[in-house]
Amino acid sequence: MNTKTIHLETLACSCPCGSSKRYADCCNRYINLDELASTAEILMRSRYTAYTLNYENYLLATWHHDTCPTAIEVIDQLPKKWLGLVIKRHEQFMGNHAIVEFIARYKINGRAHRLHEISRFVREDGIWFYVDGDIL
């Protein structure tokens, strides 16, 4: 099965971001760059979805140039089964800065893990970017 086939099957499924919308009606439009995320929370959700689908190009494109790595090694390291995303809070301040606190749950080799992070975002020229985060 190729990536295009996987993507077409995903369109009809529930979006991994937890919005309860179909992927085709939710994060797909951001990941395909058809639409820009209007808030840091929407960007966070679409980035989580990109991680679940191994869309490294989108992750790099939405990472702020000051902190962006050249590649995301974790994508290919270990097989992960993503279990869900919970947004704990989203705060926007000074117009172009925001934080999103989230918990992402996943399994590696059958063992459950959770990532609890407060992520920082900045909006430049109307476009939101992930800057960095603190793992709690």
| Torsion sign over Cα 12, 84, 67, 109 | negative
Question: What is the number of domains present in the chain?
Answer: 1
Q: Give the other-Cβ count within 10 Å of 51's Cβ.
A: 22
pTM above 0.85, yes or no: yes
Task: Give, for all 136 residues of the chain, the pLDDT tens digit.
Answer: 334 444 555 666 899 999 989 999 999 999 999 999 999 999 999 999 999 988 999 999 999 999 999 888 765 665 578 899 999 999 999 999 999 999 999 998 889 999 999 999 999 999 999 999 999 9
Q: Extract the tokens encoding 113.
A: 């893990």
Cβ neighbourhood burial of 19 (10 Å; 0-12, 13-18, 19+): middle
Query: Which residue range is the domain that position 7 belongs to?
Result: 3-135
Please report the pLDDT score of residue 134 as a whole number: 97
CA 87 from centroid of its chain's CA atoms? 12
Question: What is the pLDDT, as a whole number, of residue 109?
Answer: 86
CATH number at residue 105: 3.10.450.50
Q: How many CA atoms lie within 13 A of 107 on its CB side?
A: 6
